[in-house]
Amino acid sequence: MDQPGPSAPMHEHSSYSVEGQQPDYLDTVLEIFKWHKHPFIMVEECALTWMGAAVVMGQDCDVLVRTAQLPDILRDLLGTGRWIQVEHSNKTQEVMIYADVPRIRRVPEVLGPDNDLCLSLWSEKKYHLAVDGPTVEVLDCCALNSVLIEQRFAPSVMWAPRSLAAEGVKFVHDVRARSDRCTIPIFVPSIPRFLDADLDRYRDNVDKKLLDMPFVLTKPLHTLNLVRYLYLDMPRQKDLVLSEMAPRNWPMMEHLIDTFKRKSSSILSFTPEQEQEIKEIRAKNPLPQ
């Protein structure tokens, strides 16, 4: 289905199974991050579900970790006896995209033999994103139905991503990763920072010639998903997101937006207020000619 809308199924994207898991299955993880004075920041598909993108989830919850603190946090997670370190799939091992990204899985004795819940720990250096920077707090680990938390990026279109105010839509699983008694927050990066990191990693993969290897996506897929779901091909949306991205990524981002082909369009005309907002954004943050 090209556009998310009222006819979409209530559970629009798959994720790792939560059936049979106990509530609060990430409480201990959050407590370890807090002990290390480190925020719990999700990236990859888990983050995209809170950015309005109806993406297909894998079995991993990907977490951003300060490069210097990653070894100690990994050691303490394994030290609980609830996690074991495992390899990535053969496909990702083959292309080395996940090299130096530790992956841990809950032991079967904790969640049952069929459980495949994993955490992948991305260092700042590997993900091309600093822990310290603008983030947005979210409700839980992965969203049951995609939702746009940063409503300032909401497009004025018929099929705009849902907000938390949407009626009749559940955004968290019945079995929640974080218990009600745990008050440790869960974050995702701000959308402009997430885009910058995606394009920086893509450029790094090009430089390392990883894109020539089997099974590697030849385009920055996360960026293209946000172009699609946030309607960044609309002038207002394009100007707004570019104004907060790093100038080094403006040319590539503009190229991806300008060459994006939308299968169908439900774009509405701008109100006078929105037209004025576009002018103000462009005046404050002029893009290179």
Q: At what angle do helices 272-284 and 235-242 cross, to 10 degrees?
A: 30
Task: Find tokens 């954004």 and name the residue.
Answer: 281
Under a CB-based contact definition with an 8 Å cutoff, are residues 191 and 222 in contact? no
Cβ neighbourhood burial of 35 (10 Å; 0-12, 13-18, 19+): exposed
* pLDDT tens digit sequence for 129-139: 999 999 999 99
pLDDT at 239: 96
Q: Which residue did the predictor score with more confidence, 143 or 47?
A: 47
Q: At what angle do helices 235-242 and 191-207 cross, to 10 degrees?
A: 80
Coil, helix or strand for 74?
A: helix
Assign 52 a pLDDT band (cuts: 50, 70, 90): very high
Q: What's the mean pLDDT in 73-90?
A: 88
Q: What mean pLDDT is reported for the chain?
A: 81
The continuous run of DSSP H or E covering 272 comes out as helix 272-284
Structure tokens at 252: 């590539």
Q: d(Cα 187, Cα 134) in Å, to the nearest integer?
A: 10
Under a CB-based contact definition with an 8 Å cutoff, are residues 230 and 241 in contact? yes
Q: d(Cα 208, Cα 27) in Å, to the nearest integer?
A: 38
DSSP strands (E only) in the chain: 40-43, 60-65, 83-86, 103-106, 118-123, 135-138, 186-189
Scanning 173-214, the segments in alpha helix (DSSP H) are 191-207
**Cut 0.85: pTM above it:** no
Assign 208 a pLDDT band (cuts: 50, 70, 90): low
Structure tokens at 140: 């839980």
Assign 58 a pLDDT band (cuts: 50, 70, 90): confident
Under a CB-based contact definition with an 8 Å cutoff, are residues 60 and 44 in contact? yes
Q: d(Cα 102, Cα 1) in Å, to the nearest integer?
A: 34
Q: What's the mean pLDDT in 99-119?
A: 73
Q: What's the mean pLDDT in 25-41?
A: 94
Range with lowest mean pLDDT among 12-16, 78-82, 119-123: 12-16
Determine what percent of the chain is predicted with pLDDT higher than 90: 49
* pLDDT tens digit sequence for 230-255: 999 999 999 999 999 999 999 999 99
Range with lowest mean pLDDT among 132-141, 225-234, 257-266, 270-279: 270-279
